[in-house]
Amino acid sequence: MTIYMDAIKELQNLSKDVYSINHLYWWTLKYEYLYKRAKETKNLGSCYGSLPCACTSDNPESIFISFYEGLFQMTEFHKHENYFQEELKNYNSIAGDEEKLKEWVLKNEKLGTEDLFLFLINHLDYDENSYHPIVGIHEDNLPNIFVNRNDFKNTIEALEIFADLYWDKKILPENLRRLMENSDSKN
C-alpha cells in the first residue's frame, strides 16, 4: 500500500457508513500537504513527459487527487450552511409575501443557479432511495463516502425551496428565460 492509500484508509477507518462533515474538514486539512505532493508527481512515468496519459490516470497519486478533491468540494459546499440557516429564517418570515419571495429568490439566484446548482443533483439524487449526500469521487475502486444529511440540513432545505420557487413556480420568469437563452446560446 502507498502513502496515498494509507491516508484514504485512515478516513475510511473513522466510520463504517456515514461521515460527519468534521471528519472531512479534519482529513483535508491533515492531508493538504499530500495532495500538493500528489499534484506535483502524478504524471511521473507518463508517456508524454509532464502531461497526463493512460499510464498515469489510475496511479495512486491520481486516485488520491480525485478522492481529496471530492472531499474538499463537500467542505466548500458546507461553508454555505450558516448563510442558509439565516436565509431560511428570512424565508419563513416572508413566506406569504410574493414580492418579498421574489427578492429572496433574486438574492440567492447566483447560489441556486450557478454555485450550488448541481449540489442536489450530484450529491442527493444518486439513486431513488438516497438520503445522505454522497461525495463526488470519480474512482471506481474507492468506496462511496456519505456525509451526514444533518450537516447540510439548511443548505438542502434552502436549495429545495429555491428550486421550487425558481424552476417549478417560475417566480422570476424573466431571469429564468434569460438563463435558458444564455444556456442555449452556449450549446
- What pLDDT was estimated at residue 45? 67
- What pLDDT was estimated at residue 84? 98
Amino acid letter, 135? V
Question: What number of other Cβ atoms are within 10 A of residue 174's Cβ?
Answer: 8
Which grid cell is 174?
424573466
Calculate the alpha carbon distances from 177 to 104, 110, 181, 184 in Å: 18, 15, 6, 10
Which grid cell is 28?
483535508
Q: Which three-class secondary structure state does DSSP give residue 157?
A: helix
Look at residues 163, 114, 124, 125 and name the one whose alpha carbon lies nearest to residue 147: 124
Which residues does the chain have with pLDDT short of 70?
1, 45-51, 53-55, 187
- What pLDDT was estimated at residue 183? 76
- What pLDDT was estimated at residue 187? 61
Q: What is the per-residue DSSP string for 8-25?
A: HHHHHTT-SSEE-HHHHH
Look at residues 128, 135, 34 and name the one whose alpha carbon lies nearest to residue 76: 135
Helix axes 32-41, 21-30, angle to 10 degrees: 60
- What pLDDT was estimated at residue 173? 87
Q: Is the dihedral of CA 170, 182, 187, 158 positive or negative?
A: negative
Look at residues 111, 100, 101 and name the one whose alpha carbon lies nearest to residue 155: 111
pTM, two decimals, is: 0.87
User: CB-side exposure of 128: number of CA atoms within 13 Å?
Assistant: 0
Angle at 93 between CA 88 and CA 99, to 5 degrees: 100
Instruction: Please name the helix (run of DSSP H) or strand (run of DSSP E) that holds residue 105, with its range, or none.
Output: helix 98-107
- What pLDDT was estimated at residue 55? 66
Amino acid letter, 96? G
